[in-house]
Amino acid sequence: MQSRQNTRVAAKSDTASTRLILTGSAILLGAVVWAGQARSDGHDPVTVSHGYSNFDELMYPADFPHFNYVNPDAPKGGEISQWSQGTFDSFNMSTRKGTPAALATIGYEAILVGTADDPYGSYCYLCTTMEYPESRDWVIFNLRDDVTFSDGTGMTAEDLAFSFNLSLEQGITEYREVYSRFLKSVEVLGPYKIKFSFTEDAPRRDVVNWVGGTSAFSKAWWEETGTRLDESSDAPFLATGPYLLDSVDIGRQIVYRKDPNWWGVDQPANIGRNNFETIRVEYFADSSAAFEGFKSGAYTFRVENSSKQWATGYEFPAVEKGWVKVTELPDGSIGSAQAFVYNLDRPQWQDPRVREAVGLMFNFEWSNESLFYGLYARVNSFWQNSDLEAKGTPSEGELAILQPLVDEGLLPASMLTSEVAMAPPSATSQRPLDRGNLRRATALLDDAGWAAGADGIRRKDGQTLDAVFLQYSPQFDRIVNPMIENLKRLGVNAVLDRVDTSQYIERRRSGDFDVVNHTLTQGFEPGQQLRQWFGSEAADDSSRNIMRLRSPAVDRMIDAVVAAEGLDNIQTASKALDRVLRAEGFWIPQWFKDVHTVAYYDQYRHPDALPPFALGELDFWWYDADAAAALKDAGAFQ
């Protein structure tokens, strides 16, 4: 399965509704749409605004009626259903205990909301306005007084202060390690007014959206139930959002239902969105069983991540009768940085020559032609197909960032003149093994001291050169196995270790692997979260830096990106970081495509023009009741 595999193996929902857009921060530096201006301590001007953007004006004014990409008249009701692989036993995404359920956070809402068409803006949602000084030493959110939890109790500033502190006290280790030192205080200034103050070390470009991403939880409910954020949970937490857990069959099925008393139904940010009455997730043991389930109508919407399935599988009766629509929809997001990554804590992967040699054994050109039906392009960058992708030799701006690290011996001088590292091409697409790459890899391993024995297996200091590929999906076998055969020709003791979903998640978390799939795609405005992905402080216990990268040069480059101000400077610093990350060689880049490949029973509709950064099937698509009735009458569903 050519999927964008992540730590959570679950049904993919491409919504942009209740998150700050993409993974980047969006903090004010340029002009904003002001509701007014005051002064702080008689010196620092204070901006009062309905939203926040780092660059230029916000896309949406304070009185916007709805987001531009929605159908404001979209009908409400009906059901959409998708699939997920494996099983689950928890609804808590913030703990390493248990296997989380698909869409476990669908009912959560944050102070600020992002959009699917504005990559740099975020807007008041649980607040009416925000206030912040030019220094960004603090931010005040003036909260709405009509927000209620699903039990009918009102949300207050006390609840948000509790929610924020909860994540710093009981949240995942990588988050606490990075962010705990940035908060000076949280103050409740009134029932609907909350102030966050930041330390001198807090990156000013990140701080407002960091705290603005706080999900609203009920303090009274948490204290009454004794729930903990670091423990598994058999149900979602009490929250304010549009969907509630309706029913669950552990490990088999989940149904979420629209809250009939949801406070936010008429808010401008929600017009034309959250249109389905129910969202159902069906679990299957593997992707083959799931595809058969789709063909029979067991679920109704499928984002197809298997190129083989896409090219050859969609010739079944429901398609031929016009019941199922099969289509490609544009995807303007940053190209998915999907890859195999090495566990750098394993001794054999600490030598870059060994990593390079193993990477040479993946023949993308042959895979794309023979296995992927030519549907993919090769990944080279962590910001593929964007203005943050490093290309060619360093620009003048990049050189200014890289030179001090070269002077200090953290980077080789060649970084200043060399072309950026690219995924190694193969000279042939006619056979899995490229003999030229085999010769290069052989020389690299010989040079690294891994000598081939009489049995053909390479050893060093009495240890065999092992490469265990951890996987959970049977459909990935056809991709991994040819590479394993190539590695055996090289003398590497390579094997495929396919386990069930629960084991896969736990072993990735704990670092019990040699090589595993990972997706490292970054946002349009990189910031402090880079430390969770690539920082040394997150290497020991992280769901993002699972390769255990500890690089002083990368740490310094992250500092440069975090400190950058202005879009041009952020893009330049990000290109320099991209260049250094790619030179580290901790990954074997895989592939990406710039379209969504989807199939669905023809009872769903979407706006004519999709926004650039979201497919949004659970967000702004809707149910056509007449079309659904016609499908049912025709016998489309068993």
pLDDT, one tens digit per residue, over 305-315 is 999 999 999 99
Q: Does residue 28 carry a pLDDT above 50? A: no
| Distance from C-alpha of 273 to C-alpha of 506, rounded to nearest angstrom | 35
Measured between alpha carbons, how far is 178 from 176 in angstroms, rounded to an integer? 5
User: 201 and 307: one domain?
Assistant: no
Least confident interval from 53-57, 428-432, 463-467: 53-57
State the SS3 of 54-68.
Answer: CCCCCCCCCCCCCCC
Return all residues near 86 (Cβ < 8 A) that are at least 6 apart: 9, 99, 283, 285, 472, 500, 501, 502, 504
The three-state secondary structure class of 589 is strand
pLDDT value of residue 7? 29
89 inside domain = no
Structure confidence by residue, pLDDT tens digits, 589-633: 999 999 999 999 999 999 999 999 999 999 999 999 999 999 999
The pLDDT tens digits of the residues spanning 362-409 come to: 999 999 999 999 999 999 999 999 999 999 999 999 999 999 999 999
Q: Residue 204 — φ and ψ, nearest 5°?
A: -65, -25
DSSP 100: B
The answer on pLDDT for 13 being more than 60 is: no
With bands split at pLDDT 50, 70 and 90, how would you rate the model's confidence at 38?
Answer: very low
**What pLDDT is stored for residue 175 in this prediction?**
83
Residue 112 pLDDT grade (very low, low, confident, very high; cuts 50, 70, 90): very high
Same domain, 377 and 521: yes
- The distance from CA 75 to its chain's CA centroid, rounded to whole angstroms, is 30
Residue 155: Cβ within 10 Å count: 25
Give me the mean pLDDT over the 307-334 stretch: 96
Query: Given the structure tokens 């092992």, which residue do they identify?
Result: 466
Q: Average the pLDDT over 499-521 and give the result.
A: 92
What pLDDT shows up at residue 44?
78
At residue 180, the pLDDT reads: 86
**Are 451 and 564 part of one and the same domain?**
yes
Q: Is residue 236 part of a domain?
A: no
DSSP code, position 75: P
Average of pLDDT values for 221-244?
Answer: 95
Same domain, 538 and 619: no
pLDDT at 31 over 70: no
Digit-coded pLDDT (tens) for 57-74: 899 999 999 999 999 999
Structurally, the chain folds into a number of domains equal to 3
Together in a domain, 279 and 368: no
Q: Looking at the structure, tell me whether residues 378 and 508 fall in a common domain.
A: yes
Say if residue 440 is in the same domain as residue 564: yes
Instruction: Please write the tens of the pLDDT for every residue from 179-190.
Output: 888 999 999 999
Q: What pLDDT shows up at residue 251?
A: 84
Mean pLDDT computed over every residue of the chain: 91
- pLDDT over 60 (residue 252): yes
Residue 289 maps to which CATH number?
3.40.190.10
Q: 610 CB contacts (<8 Å, ≥6 apart)?
A: 69, 329, 330, 616
Supply the pLDDT for residue 475: 85
β 458-460/595-601 pair status:
unpaired
pLDDT top residue among 16 and 127: 127
Residue 42's pLDDT band (boundaries 50, 70, 90)? low
At residue 1, the 3 state secondary structure works out as coil
The pLDDT of residue 32 is 32
Q: Please indicate, yes or no, whether residues 156 and 47 belong to a single structural domain of this protein.
A: yes
Query: Any idea what the CATH number is for the domain that residue 539 is in?
Result: 3.10.105.10
Q: Give the torsion sign (CA, 254, 258, 264, 266).
A: positive
Does the pLDDT at position 289 exceed 50? yes
Rounded Cα distance, 525 and 545, in Å? 19
User: Does residue 114 carry a pLDDT above 80?
Assistant: yes
Together in a domain, 55 and 203 = yes
pLDDT of residue 209: 94
Query: Is residue 211 located within the same domain as residue 360?
Result: no
Please give the share of the chain, as a percent, with pLDDT higher than 70. Answer: 93
Per DSSP, the three-state class of 355 is: helix
Confidence label for 76 from pLDDT (cuts 50, 70 and 90): very high
Per the rule left: phi > 0, alpha: psi between -120 and 50, beta: everything else, 596 is: beta
Residues 516 and 368 in one domain: yes
**What is the residue whose two structure tokens read 């610093």?**
573
State residue 39's pLDDT score.
44
Residue type for position 480? V
Q: Give 235's Cβ-side CA count (13 Å radius).
A: 12
* Residues ≥6 apart with Cβ < 8 Å to 446: none
Is 194 part of a structural domain of the chain? yes
Strand intervals (E) in 192-323: 193-198, 243-249, 253-258, 278-284, 301-303
578 and 610, same domain (yes or no) = no
Mean pLDDT of 143-166: 98
